[in-house]
Amino acid sequence: MAENPFTPTFGVTPPLLVAREEELEVFVEGLEDGVGSPGRAMLITGTRGSGKTVLLNSIEDAARTRGWLIVSATTGVGVAEELATTRIAELLHKHDPGARAFSPTGGSAGAVGFTAGTQGAYENQVPLPTLNFRSGLERLADVADTRLGAGVLITLDEVHTSAIADLRQITQALQHSFREGRQVALVAAGLPSSVSDLLSDDVTSFLRRAERFTLGPIPAGAVRSALADPITLAGRSIAPIAPEALELAVEGTRGYPFLIQLVGHRSWRVQPKTPEITLEHARAGIDGAIRRAGRMIHEPALRDLSDVDRSFLAAMAIDEGPSQIADIAERMSVDLNYANQYRRRLLAAEMIVPAGRGRLSFTLPYLRDYLNDHAVTEALSGPEARP
Ligand SMILES: Nc1ncnc2c1ncn2[C@@H]1O[C@H](COP(=O)(O)OP(=O)(O)OP(=O)(O)O)[C@@H](O)[C@H]1O
Ligand SMILES: [Mg+2]
């Protein structure tokens, strides 16, 4: 039996990554064009499941095939020092002839090899300075340049203000390296709300100047390939006999990367032994995907918000289409100014988008359905708002 090709899991590279040509092109041009090119500092934002992590992965692959050294991390408190003493130290050990005599301090003399994560000192005729992020990066970039004819790519996933001290340290080191003409690049990714918090901090002006990409909905043509090609490659088919099956599945994903994988995965497994994915399978697949999306996308996204933010969204969910701010304020029993404050917060978090003529709609697909299926809307609206 052919194996299900889809990957409805966070951070796992999909069978076919679609619609990321522009981001990858800007990045690769940045590597080729040299120091000062915009692609050498990129900032990627997008809601949960929009594909930030897998884009970072493929950016890393692109750099790796060009000989660049990769230093990647999920952002957290202490990440700068941790990178300096583990990944950067490890790469120096591997590529820097002057650093080969490294031995972990506190380890037994003559310990063989290098242990990532161990604090250590270089025992060398010319002792290396104690490694911090900046000195480590500079030395590694010099080694990458002279010995490999390449550079060092730093990727930071899930950037967040809780690690602001580390982000300052890292971006200042990058900025310094840029100024001195070193071959370094930074690509950072985070949720819209985290990134907008970060950008209001002036010490991260470096990030503000970075080339910014927002991962929005994927166009239908690309979604079609992202669903059909992996199915064909895995030995089944979706389009030839019943083209409407593919069209329904495409529509069901709403262009949302995580849902591409979920809808594909659920549709495949309805009758995995039959050669074709039918309209009926696609329909069942979409239903299953929407249910899963509640737990995997909507719940965590709502958890990130305040109670008032959530009431605002619940007030919107009562409408069948885009909502007016005046209606929302009325349903929440608050004045317009107060409602507008929350409108701004939710816009910055990219939970909602302007939908023309002062109206607002949801960013996450099926969030309205999710909110309506859960008690929060009832509690807010009272009996008259829901016929
Ligand atoms: N361009 C794409 N084409 C097809 N599938 C994609 C694409 N981007 C992401 N996916 C799929 O969507 C899912 C979510 O991707 P990913 O984990 O990168 O999202 P994320 O933005 O990092 O989410 P989070 O904010 O929760 O970390 C994965 O299953 C991935 O395979
Ligand atoms: Mg991620």
Report how far ligand 2's centroid is from the alpha carbon of 12 (Å).
9
Residue 110 is predicted with a pLDDT of 33
- Per DSSP, 181 falls in state T
Q: CB 113: neighbour CB atoms within 10 A?
A: 9
Residue 162 is predicted with a pLDDT of 93
Residue 152 is predicted with a pLDDT of 98
What does the pLDDT look like over 197-254, one tens digit per residue?
888 776 678 899 999 999 999 999 999 999 999 999 999 999 776 689 999 999 999 9
Q: Which residues pair with 157 in a beta bridge?
A: 74
Q: Can you state the angle between helices 243-253 and 279-293, rounded to 10 degrees?
A: 10
Q: Which ligand 1 atom is at minimum distance from the Cα of 56?
A: 18
Q: Whose CA is nearest to atom 8 of ligand 1?
A: 51
The Cα–Cα gap between 208 and 43 comes to 9
* Closest-approaching ligand to the CA atom of 54: 1
Q: Which of the listed residues 53, 187, 213, 253 should we mutate to test ligand 1's pocket, taking the one with most ligand atoms within 8 A of CB? A: 53
Enter the pTM of the model: 0.89
- Contacting residues for 213 by C-beta, under 8 A, at least 6 apart: 22, 23, 26, 42, 43, 44, 45
**Contact (Cβ atoms closer than 8 angstroms) between residue 339 and residue 328:** yes
Backbone angle region of 110, left / alpha / beta, with phi > 0 → left and psi within -120 to 50 → alpha: left
List all residues whose CB is within 6 A of at least one atom of ligand 1: 7-12, 14, 17-20, 46, 48-54, 191, 226, 257-258, 260-261
Domains detected in the chain: 21-214 (3.40.50.300), 220-301 (1.10.8), 305-385 (1.10.10.10)
Q: CB 357: neighbour CB atoms within 10 A?
A: 7
Q: Which ligand 1 atom is at minimum distance from the Cα of 13?
A: 31
The Cα–Cα gap between 285 and 373 comes to 19
Report how far ligand 1's centroid is from the alpha carbon of 376 (Å).
28
Q: Which ligand 1 atom is at minimum distance from the Cα of 17?
A: 3
Residue 239 is predicted with a pLDDT of 73
Q: Which residues of the chain have pLDDT under 70?
A: 100-130, 202-203, 241-242, 375-387
Q: Which ligand 1 atom is at minimum distance from the Cα of 48?
A: 25
Q: Whose CA is nearest to atom 16 of ligand 1?
A: 51
Arithmetic mean of pLDDT over the chain: 89
